[in-house]
């Protein structure tokens, strides 16, 4: 393994020139800067008490009380941890099966209308999870869910509840799984897009059946590109508390992440950051464990090189008689996870909580939209949101790609530590990251506190996603491509700019789109760092939600979708090499 | 006591400003009435008020933080009507306290006035971050000024059940909180995980911890009480659960005014959370902070608030509609104050794990 790694990592300081050293040094410094404050705050808070003092206040002291209180609770072991394992494993499995099938259909087959399908599949990740959960509850609650009412009416069932019940473990798993699909789908399409089909063609030529080729060639070659989204999805499911709070809690399903919510919304006056951090630390441990596993499973780096200098052409399987089943599969997912929630969203924005009946049509009201559109603060929030989400996504994607290059290609001392640190951001609850940013930027005399720039800097701590995507993408590129550029006289920076980054475009676009959407939805950091000048759309949505003005919250969510969808469409349309559909 | 949706047939709410102008006539009449009632005090203190107003106006701006937009959005238009020239900026966040503490520690306090529940204000007050003002100039009774003059009572929010008026008749509702444990309410109730422990804290002050814990267990384990963070009005409207047991009469009235088919009901115990306003020490606009904080606790602001969002003081001597309703109600009113605050906090701390599933 060491020999292989050494063979791949040929770059030394002399090879990359002073400009390369400067660029990589800046990227590494930025990555460390973005992540260190939230990480330090998490570790610091976990060992500070008592609970009625904030971790940084005079009087707070080092203590293990937070751990004693969190881990001394027997319910944790009898109920919460088993529930969590079932919930995470189930939702990741559901998400993977759906996402991989969809990604394969979109990237490797001649499925018609792929660009439209692509955008619709991503839809659930655009809508804030709280809104999505509410839409699903409208559809699948046992007594009055619209789908249940329709089924009971269609089949003349006399029961007053069911037959479907989202307020259950299967319901929670399906909901969380469906909400993870776009995330996994984006990452898997990036991996599939850069996979050279020559391997599969060789397998088929050798007489292997499509199934054998899939299991013996496709999956193994894609291992980094598959493991990264699976691991990330597992960690996201582990720390996600919106769906468990809305769908799980009514079914008395208590999972780990709910504990963080209750610690941050406690019965005392202040959020108990110490206990929340103590609950969150296992996320970091899980993240580290999964990253070790990931590194172990992909240790033979050369096995995953699929893009070489020997020619690479994307090829698509003709679906033939499977075309319609494929369309039905994709449409069913899109219908349940995108179209119906979108319809609920638009309905609530226009009709409030009136039932979807003909009688309600007369109650249509555009007040929610007209109020929003007549307020200048809304337009400022739109501008701020595009700026913050776009710029932070661009910075993090670029920094993540360069950090990945350092980890995969260079001999820089401490690169493995850098890899781990960049990954740890996924285990830090955003409330704790927000507190760290607040303390950092309120103290630093750089004049960004209260401006839109503080949000750009704060949002940049989410490096985990992009470093995983970039690393998987980079591992698919053969070193010879960079060597060829160098032999032809290309400086390191030129090679990166004109060879590596363009070939990594699918990964980089996936990363940008994902981070852009996350940036559009993020409200915790935005709320903590809020000022009159840096208001963003997600904060407006959250305030309407807290203010029980759901029609207005739905209107904002609808407009967020309207704003984000063209960006996704454009990113796929213009930032990636195009091919003709059909 | 129950309240039907008196505005049930009206169109849905307009925007914040439109809403305000639509209610302008009612508001003006209420303010005038309030002015007449407090006329002697106003006259007596007019010089002090005008002096402070002059200084506040010179500062030109006031920044008010509070828990929700509904608690704050009316302040700007109402203040401008009576005391023009002070631009009101608001910031709604239920988790403001850590930010206020962090800002004060860095010497960069960015708000002037904090409006919050008395319990929520305590974290700020204990750290010595509140200033003082001349509450008496605005006619705030001495017994409604807390923390040694640092906070003035503004209004109360009163716990009630909120129900779907299409599915539940007022007469069907129980008369006592404990009657919700009756099997007939099985599968019909919804509650917020945030508010249920707090309501239970109030009830436990009357019932004791054990009885309240048993009541909670019965609701959760035997009556299939839906505890969820999803918006309760949507769950009521869809009919999934027709009664929410953790809501506020002011919220129900606000939703009813917007066209929702909801009513509200009080029972044998009427818990009322106390909200207060306080100027901040080190406020960027110190005079505006003192002026607006005191104004918020005075009769004019109380009337304007009630006209806007039905939030009203229910303390004895208050001249609000809500106070009159509470006075007529048969239930025992428990209003949060510095004396019972600690007891209630202790009780809901013990009861909360039942709601959150950490204790059976």
Residue A166 included in any domain: yes
Average pLDDT estimate for A219-242: 83
* Sequence-separated (6 or more) residues with CB below 8 Å from residue A435: A41, A45, A54, A273, A528, B98, B102
- Write the CATH number for A97: 1.10.3720.10
Number of domains in chain A: 1
The lowest-confidence range among A186-190, A329-333, B284-288 is A186-190
Residue A90 included in any domain: yes
Count Cβ atoms within 10 A of the Cβ of residue A565 and give its class: 0-12 exposed, 13-18 middle, 19 or more buried. middle
pLDDT 10s digits, B140-159? 999 999 999 999 999 999 99
Whether B255 and A548 lie within 8 Å, measured CB to CB: yes
Gap between the Cα atoms of A419 and A405, Å rounded: 11
Whether B102 and A264 lie within 8 Å, measured CB to CB: no
B325 and A CB contact within 8 Å:
no
Determine the longest span between alpha carbons in chain A, in angstroms.
Answer: 78
Whether A143 and B356 lie within 8 Å, measured CB to CB: no
Rounded to a whole number, what is the distance in Å from the CA of A399 to chain B's nearest CA?
30
Report phi then psi at A477, rounded to 5. -95, 130
Range of the domain at A165: 15-56+77-306+320-574
Chosen from A353, A372, A442, A534 to mutate, greatest number of chain B CBs within 10 A? A353
Gap between the Cα atoms of A148 and A140, Å rounded: 6
Give B-chain residues touching A167 at CB under 8 angstroms.
226
B118 and A CB contact within 8 Å:
no
- Do domains B15-156+274-316 and B157-272+326-355 share one topology? The answer is yes
Give B-chain residues touching A54 at CB under 8 angstroms.
98, 101-102
pLDDT band at B20 (very low <50, low <70, confident <90, very high): very low
The nearest alpha carbon in chain B to A131 belongs to B230
Chosen from A56, A432, A547, A556 to mutate, greatest number of chain B CBs within 10 A? A547
Q: Which of A177-186, A268-277, A359-368 has the highest mean pLDDT?
A: A177-186
- Are A115 and A332 a contacting pair, CB within 8 Å? no
Chosen from B15, B64, B98 to mutate, greatest number of chain A CBs within 10 A? B98
pLDDT 10s digits, A7-46? 345 455 557 788 888 989 999 999 999 998 888 888 898 8
Whether B227 and A250 lie within 8 Å, measured CB to CB: yes
B251 and A CB contact within 8 Å:
yes
The lowest-confidence range among A192-201, A461-470, B227-236 is A192-201
Distances in Å between the alpha carbon of B323 and those of A536, B151, B157, B308?
A: 39, 21, 11, 16
Residue A218 included in any domain: yes
Residue A61 included in any domain: no
In this structure, how many other beta carbons lie within 10 angstroms of the beta carbon of residue A230? 20
pLDDT at residue A70, rounded to an integer: 86
pLDDT 10s digits, B186-196? 999 999 988 99
Q: At what angle do helices A81-108 and A114-126 cross, to 10 degrees?
A: 160
Whether A374 and B241 lie within 8 Å, measured CB to CB: no
pLDDT 10s digits, A386-416? 999 999 999 999 999 999 999 888 888 888 8
The nearest alpha carbon in chain A to B241 belongs to A143
* Sequence-separated (6 or more) residues with CB below 8 Å from residue A482: A409, A495, A499, A500
Rounded to a whole number, what is the distance in Å from the CA of B314 to chain A's nearest CA?
22
Apex B67 CA angle, B61 and B70, nearest 5? 80
For chain B, the domains span: 15-156+274-316, 157-272+326-355
pLDDT at residue A501, rounded to an integer: 87
Q: Return the beta strands (E) in A83-205 as ranges.
A: none
Residue A476 included in any domain: yes
Give B-chain residues touching A250 at CB under 8 angstroms.
226-228
Gap between the Cα atoms of B297 and B132, Å rounded: 13
Query: Which residue is listed with tokens 């464990």?
Result: A289
Q: Between residues 35 and 94 of chain B, which touch chain A (CB distance below 8 Å)?
A: 63, 68-70, 89, 91-94
CATH superfamily for domain B157-272+326-355:
Periplasmic binding protein-like II (3.40.190.10)
Give B-chain residues touching A270 at CB under 8 angstroms.
97-98, 123
pLDDT band at A426 (very low <50, low <70, confident <90, very high): confident
The nearest alpha carbon in chain A to B9 belongs to A363
* Sequence-separated (6 or more) residues with CB below 8 Å from residue A542: A523, A527
Gap between the Cα atoms of A454 and A462, Å rounded: 15
- Are B138 and B298 a contacting pair, CB within 8 Å? yes
Residue A257 included in any domain: yes
Residue A62 included in any domain: no
Apex A538 CA angle, A532 and A544, nearest 5? 85
CATH superfamily for domain B15-156+274-316:
Periplasmic binding protein-like II (3.40.190.10)
**How does strand B61-66 pair with strand B2-3?**
unpaired
- Integer-rounded Cα radius of gyration of chain B: 21
Per-residue b/e over A169-194, b at no fewer than 16 CB within 10 Å?
bebbbbbbbbbbbbbbbbbbbbbbbb
Higher pLDDT, A373 or A1: A373
pLDDT at residue B25, rounded to an integer: 53
Give A-chain residues touching B223 at CB under 8 angstroms.
none
Residue A184 included in any domain: yes
Give B-chain residues touching A267 at CB under 8 angstroms.
197-198, 345, 348-349, 352
């Amino acid at each position: 393994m060491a020999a292989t790694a050494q063979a791949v990592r040929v770059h030394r300081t002399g090879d990359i020139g002073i400009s390369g050293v400067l660029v990589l040094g800046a990227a590494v410094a930025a990555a460390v800067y973005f992540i260190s404050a939230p990480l330090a705050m998490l570790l610091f808070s976990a060992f500070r008490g008592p609970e009625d003092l904030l971790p940084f206040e005079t009087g707070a002291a080092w203590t293990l009380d937070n751990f004693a209180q969190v881990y001394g609770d027997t319910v944790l072991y009898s109920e919460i941890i088993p529930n969590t394992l079932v919930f995470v494993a189930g939702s990741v499995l559901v998400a993977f099966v759906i996402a991989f099938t969809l990604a394969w259909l979109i990237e490797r087959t001649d499925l018609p209308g792929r660009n439209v399908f692509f955008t619709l599949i991503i839809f659930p990740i655009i809508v804030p999870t709280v809104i999505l959960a509410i839409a699903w509850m409208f559809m699948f609650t046992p007594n009055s869910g619209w789908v249940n009412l329709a089924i009971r009416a269609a089949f003349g069932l006399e029961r007053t509840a069911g037959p479907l019940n989202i307020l259950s473990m299967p319901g929670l798993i399906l909901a969380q799984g469906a909400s993870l699909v776009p995330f996994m789908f984006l990452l898997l399409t990036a991996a599939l897009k850069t996979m050279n089909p020559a391997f599969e063609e060789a397998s088929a030529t050798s007489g292997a059946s499509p199934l054998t080729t899939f299991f013996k060639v496709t999956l193994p070659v894609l291992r980094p590109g598959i493991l990264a989204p699976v691991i990330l999805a597992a960690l996201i499911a582990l720390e996600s508390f919106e769906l468990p709070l809305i769908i799980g809690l009514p079914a008395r399903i208590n999972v780990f992440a709910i504990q963080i919510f209750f610690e941050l919304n406690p019965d005392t006056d202040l959020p108990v950051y110490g206990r929340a951090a103590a609950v969150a630390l296992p996320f970091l441990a899980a993240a580290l464990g999964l990253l070790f596993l990931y590194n172990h499973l992909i240790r033979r780096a050369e096995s995953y090189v699929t893009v070489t200098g020997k020619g690479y052409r994307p090829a698509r399987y003709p679906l033939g008689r499977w075309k319609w089943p494929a369309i039905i599969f994709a449409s069913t997912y899109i219908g349940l996870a995108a179209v119906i929630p979108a319809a609920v969203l638009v309905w609530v924005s226009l009709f409030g909580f009136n039932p979807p009946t003909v009688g309600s049509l007369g109650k249509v009201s555009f007040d929610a939209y007209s109020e929003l559109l007549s307020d200048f603060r809304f337009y400022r929030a739109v501008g701020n949101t595009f700026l913050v989400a776009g710029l932070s996504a661009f910075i993090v994607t670029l920094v993540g790609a360069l950090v990945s290059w350092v980890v995969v290609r260079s001999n820089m001392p401490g690169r493995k530590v850098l890899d781990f640190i960049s990954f740890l951001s996924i285990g830090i609850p955003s409330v704790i990251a927000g507190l760290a940013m607040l303390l950092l930027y309120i103290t630093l005399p750089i004049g960004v506190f209260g401006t839109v720039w503080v949000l750009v800097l704060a949002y940049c701590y989410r490096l985990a996603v992009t470093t995983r995507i970039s690393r998987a993408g980079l591992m698919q590129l053969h070193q010879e491509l960079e060597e060829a550029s160098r032999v032809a006289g290309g400086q390191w920076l030129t090679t990166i700019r004109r060879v590596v980054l363009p070939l990594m475009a699918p990964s980089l676009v996936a990363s940008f789109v994902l981070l852009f959407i996350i940036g559009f939805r993020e409200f915790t950091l935005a709320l903590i760092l809020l000022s009159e000048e840096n208001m963003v759309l997600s904060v407006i949505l959250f305030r309407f939600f807290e203010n029980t003005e759901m029609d207005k919250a739905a209107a904002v969510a609808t407009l967020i979708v309207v704003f984000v969808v063209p960006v996704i469409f454009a990113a796929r349309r213009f930032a990636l090499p195009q091919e003709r559909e059909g | 006591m129950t309240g039907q949706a008196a505005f049930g047939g009206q169109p849905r709410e307009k925007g914040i400003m439109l809403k305000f102008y639509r209610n302008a006539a009612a508001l003006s009449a209420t303010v005038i009435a309030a002015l007449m009632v407090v006329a002697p005090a106003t006259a007596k203190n007019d010089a002090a008020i005008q002096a402070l107003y002059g200084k506040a106006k010179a500062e030109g701006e006031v920044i008010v933080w509070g828990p929700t937009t509904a608690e704050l959005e009316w302040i700007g238009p109402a203040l401008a009507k009576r005391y023009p020239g002070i631009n009101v900026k608001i910031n709604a966040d239920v988790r403001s306290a850590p930010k206020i503490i962090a800002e004060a520690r860095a010497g960069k306090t960015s708000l002037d006035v904090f409006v919050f529940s008395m319990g929520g204000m305590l974290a700020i007050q204990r750290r010595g971050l509140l200033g003082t003002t001349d509450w008496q100039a605005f006619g705030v009774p001495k017994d409604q000024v807390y923390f040694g003059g640092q906070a003035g009572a503004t209004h109360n929010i009163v716990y009630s059940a909120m129900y779907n008026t299409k599915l539940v008749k007022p007469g069907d509702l129980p008369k006592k909180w404990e009657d919700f444990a009756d099997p007939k309410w099985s599968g019909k109730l919804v509650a917020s995980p945030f508010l249920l422990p707090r309501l239970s804290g109030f009830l436990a002050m009357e019932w004791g911890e054990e009885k309240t814990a048993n009541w909670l267990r019965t609701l959760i384990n035997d009556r299939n009480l839906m505890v969820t963070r999803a918006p309760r009005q949507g769950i009521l409207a869809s009919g999934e659960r027709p009664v929410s047991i953790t809501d506020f009469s002011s919220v129900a009235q606000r939703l009813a005014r917007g066209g929702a088919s909801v009513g509200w009901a009080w029972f044998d115990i009427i818990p009322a959370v106390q909200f207060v306003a306080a100027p901040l020490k080190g406020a960027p606009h110190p005079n505006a902070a003192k002026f607006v904080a005191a104004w918020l606790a005075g009769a004019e602001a109380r009337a304007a608030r009630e006209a806007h969002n039905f939030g009203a003081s229910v303390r004895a001597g208050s001249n609000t509609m809500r106070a009159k309703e509470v006075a007529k109600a048969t239930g025992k009113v428990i209003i949060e104050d510095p004396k019972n605050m600690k007891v209630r906090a202790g009780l809901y701390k013990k009861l909360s794990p039942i709601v959150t599933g950490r204790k059976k």
